[in-house]
Amino acid sequence: MDLEAVARCSARHAKPAGLAMHYGTAGFRGRAPSLDHVMFRMGALAVLRARATASAIGVMVTASHNPEEDNGVKLIDPHGEMLHPLWEEYATQLANAEEQELQKVMTEICQKEAVDLHRDALVFIGRDTRPSSLKLSQAVMDGVCVLGGQYHDYGLVTTPQLHYMVCCHNTQGQYGKATLEGYYEKLSKAFVELIKKANSSSSGDRQRHLKIDCANGIGALKLREMERYFPQEVLIQLYNDGSREKLNHLCGADYVKVHQKPPRGLDMKPNERCCSFDGDADRIVYYYKDADDHFHLIDGDKIATLISIFLKELLVKVERTLTVAVVQTAYANGSSTRYLEETMKVPVHCVKTGVKHLHHKAQEFDVGVYFEANGHGTVLFSKAAETKIRQLAKEEKDDERREAAKMLENVIDLINQTVGDAIADMLVIEAILALKGLTVQQWDSIYTDLPNRLLKVQVADRQVICTTDAERRVTAPPALQAAIDALVSTRQAARAFVRPSGTEDTVRVYAEAHTQEAADALAHEVSAAVHRLAGGVGAPPQPAAPATLLT
Ligand code: 16G
Ligand code: MG
């Protein structure tokens, strides 16, 4: 490692003195102008990680659903998964090292991880459509080069596409071809195969028409590229394609989920099926409005339920020993958990917020379906399950069983097993709706969501709030859980929890109950308790009309 060269190059990507950042659940995020040094250093760290694992590593420049002015970066590990927690620590140390400490921090990481500095290193780089992303991705390239690594710049890609590339490359093509064309071909082939079976069913002539809000982001570009691979009967109409408006502004999956209303710029007719991607296309939510103009959101919980129903039906036909489980977070609507457990008899597991926790848990099962309510999720198949399914799809003599195995095989090829992927999820959902002949309303009516409310509270130090039981209970400050329990106990079908945000300096409060009024009141009263017991800043939250509630 030429430490002199590192110092010289780093001076061109100088860190503003005193600036400290943290590699959080979604990497580093912040205002774009403050991130140049972080990008340079993450390029360098990716080289060290590539050498430590003898694999290609991904670096994605994006701030997902944040405002356009922000940016961010995250590293992708060898199998296309999130960065290892220990290396998240190194990332934070490296990003926060003052210029004169940089060499020391890098040397320490190399020593701790026994990094072979002579090994080749390959880094895959991708970026979203933010105006700042090009320049920031060039800083990543500088960081790669200064340590003697090689990079492959994929340019504009969705986050899940870059995860896919990393996985394809490191599995020597077993997962697919590490090109955009390879991604489009793999997904579209599986999709076409899957929906073929729908053509002869009663839903065969149902128009597969879908309106997509692309959040003015990368999803629009990539769907346009992919459109020519779709079969003719799939009619997608893209809205908020970035040609006029700002990224994520009053649109996108996060906006729709948080505000529980349609995005700007999408003209929605009654009962039309619509969906929204987020800014880097790793999240998706569906929705429609009914004949009375009421908006209905179909979030990650209902997506997980639809997919689980479908997979379970197939697994019953194919191989009863293969089990399906669903992984959720505390934000999952109580109705979804209940439906899955009681009606579907599918085991449900709750883990801490953040994709890596869900992903990790889902890996424990033959078929692990995981979704956050916010629309991030996918399905994981164990190696053993995949092998068995592929074998049955090829060799099974019984027609019904073989056809069901083939469908499962197509789902395996269609879903992006590295990470939640709005494009792949959308295709899986569209295929299931077509195969089952379900309208968006029928899907929505599988169960009724409990009314809920999400609020935030400012406190002096959000880390004073400690949680346990997958963030469903508070252990500190001492009196807070008892206060929450008392408030919950006065309402029907009620539940509430609080947790420090991993991405913002705030405390999140979630409440659900049998009516919207009860959920709103509960959320407010819990917020007031947080403010009182956890060092609230500013005036205590006041009960407010639902329309003015802070989200
Ligand atoms: C990040 C997480 C997302 C989680 C959200 C919670 C990833 C890739 N993203 O965006 O899964 O829902 O944080 O944010 O892990 P919060 O901690 O601010 O509530
Ligand atoms: Mg995202």
DSSP E strands in 4-131: the ranges are 28-31, 57-61, 70-76, 122-127
- Residue whose CA lies nearest to ligand 1 atom number 5: 354
Of 282, 344, 283, 333, nearest in space to 308 by CA: 344
User: In what side-by-side order are the strands of the sheet with 452-457?
Assistant: 452-457, 507-512, 495-500
Query: What pLDDT is recorded for position 183?
Result: 98
Q: Which of 215-219, 245-249, 320-324, 426-430 has the lowest mean pLDDT?
A: 320-324
Using the predicted structure, report yes or no on whether residue 551 has a pLDDT greater than 90.
no
Label residue 503 by pLDDT band (50, 70, 90): confident
Contacts of 320 (CB under 8 A, 6+ apart): none
* Structure-block tokens of residue 139: 């800083």
Q: Are 345 and 14 in contact (CB under 8 A)?
A: no
Q: Are 325 and 345 in contact (CB under 8 A)?
A: no
Q: Tokens 């009663």 map to which residue?
A: 202
Give the model confidence (pLDDT) of 104-135 as tens digits.
Answer: 999 999 999 999 999 999 999 999 999 999 99
Residue range 478-500: average pLDDT?
Answer: 97
Using the predicted structure, report yes or no on whether residue 174 has a pLDDT greater than 60.
yes
Ligand approaching nearest to the C-alpha of 25? 1
Q: Compute the mean pLDDT over every residue in the chain, rounded to the nearest whole number.
A: 94
Q: Are 73 and 39 in contact (CB under 8 A)?
A: yes
Label residue 540 by pLDDT band (50, 70, 90): confident
Residue type, position 449, single letter: D
Q: Where are the alpha helices (DSSP H) in 339-467?
A: 355-362, 383-395, 399-414, 422-436, 440-444
Whole-number Å distance, alpha carbon 354 to ligand 1 midpoint, is: 5
Label residue 549 by pLDDT band (50, 70, 90): very low
Is the CB of 366 within 6 Å of ligand 1?
Answer: no
Of 215, 202, 230, 198, nearest in space to 262 by CA: 215
Q: Which of 355, 358, 455, 551 to mutate to test the pocket of ligand 1 (most atoms within 8 A of CB)?
A: 355
Using the predicted structure, report yes or no on whether residue 543 has a pLDDT greater than 80.
no
Helix (H, G, I), strand (E, B) or coil at 455: strand
Strands 452-457 and 507-512: antiparallel
Report which secondary-structure segment, H or E, holds 382.
none
Whole-number Å distance, alpha carbon 215 to ligand 1 midpoint, is: 18
Give the model confidence (pLDDT) of 13-52 as tens digits.
Answer: 999 988 999 998 889 999 999 999 999 999 999 999 999 9
Using the predicted structure, report yes or no on whether residue 2 has a pLDDT greater than 70.
yes
Query: What pLDDT is recorded for position 502?
Result: 85
User: In what side-by-side order are the strands of the sheet with 234-239?
Assistant: 234-239, 208-213, 274-277, 284-289, 295-298
Query: What pLDDT is recorded for position 207?
Result: 56
d(CA 101, CA 361) in angstroms, rounded, equals 37
- Residue whose CA lies nearest to ligand 1 atom number 8: 26
Query: What pLDDT is recorded for position 271?
Result: 93
Please pick, among 64, 132, 188, 336, the residue that the annotation labels catalytic. Answer: 64
Give the model confidence (pLDDT) of 41-89 as tens digits.
Answer: 999 999 999 999 999 999 999 999 999 999 999 999 999 999 999 999 9
The region, left, alpha or beta by phi > 0 then psi within -120 to 50, assigned to residue 18 is: left
Q: Which of 503, 504, 508 to mutate to test the pocket of ligand 1 (most atoms within 8 A of CB)?
A: 503
Long-range contact list for 10-16, CB < 8 A, 24+ apart? 10/37, 10/40, 10/41, 10/99, 10/102, 10/146, 11/99, 12/142, 13/37, 13/39, 13/40, 13/41, 13/139, 13/142, 13/143, 14/99, 15/95, 15/97, 15/98, 15/99
- What totals of helices (H) and strands (E) does the chain contain, helices first? 18, 19
DSSP track, 279-294: TTS--EEEEEE-TT--
Using the predicted structure, report yes or no on whether residue 204 has a pLDDT greater than 50.
no
Label residue 547 by pLDDT band (50, 70, 90): very low
Ligand approaching nearest to the C-alpha of 219? 2
Give the model confidence (pLDDT) of 251-303 as tens digits.
Answer: 999 999 999 999 999 999 999 999 999 999 999 999 999 999 999 999 999 99
Query: What pLDDT is recorded for position 494?
Result: 97
> Hey, how many other C-beta atoms are within 10 angstroms of the C-beta on 33?
12
Percent helix, strand, coil in the chain (nearest 5)? Answer: 45, 20, 40
Percentage of residues in the chain with pLDDT exceeding 90?
90
Is the CB of 66 within 6 Å of ligand 1?
Answer: no
Label residue 511 by pLDDT band (50, 70, 90): very high
d(CA 158, CA 36) in angstroms, rounded, equals 21
Sign of CA dihedral 395, 399, 405, 406: positive
d(CA 76, CA 159) in angstroms, rounded, equals 10
Q: Are 195 and 432 in contact (CB under 8 A)?
A: no
In degrees and rounded to multiples of 5, residue 84 shows phi and psi of -60, 135
Give the model confidence (pLDDT) of 443-457 as tens digits.
Answer: 999 999 999 999 999
- Predicted structure pTM score: 0.95
Using the predicted structure, report yes or no on whether residue 203 has a pLDDT greater than 70.
no
Please report, to the nearest 10 degrees, the dihedral formed by the alpha carbons of residues 22, 28, 31, 33 taken in order. 100
Distances in whole angstroms, Cα of residue 269 to Cα of each of 49, 289, 477: 50, 7, 48
Query: What pLDDT is recorded for position 206?
Result: 52
- Residue whose CA lies nearest to ligand 1 atom number 19: 501
d(CA 361, CA 353) in angstroms, rounded, equals 12
64 as an active site residue: the answer is yes
Q: Are 46 and 149 in contact (CB under 8 A)?
A: yes
Using the predicted structure, report yes or no on whether residue 200 has a pLDDT greater than 70.
no
> Hey, how many other C-beta atoms are within 10 angstroms of the C-beta on 333?
23
The closest-lying atom of ligand 1 relative to the alpha carbon of residue 504 is 18
Q: Are 374 and 331 in contact (CB under 8 A)?
A: yes
Query: What pLDDT is recorded for position 1?
Result: 76
Is the CB of 355 within 6 Å of ligand 1?
Answer: yes
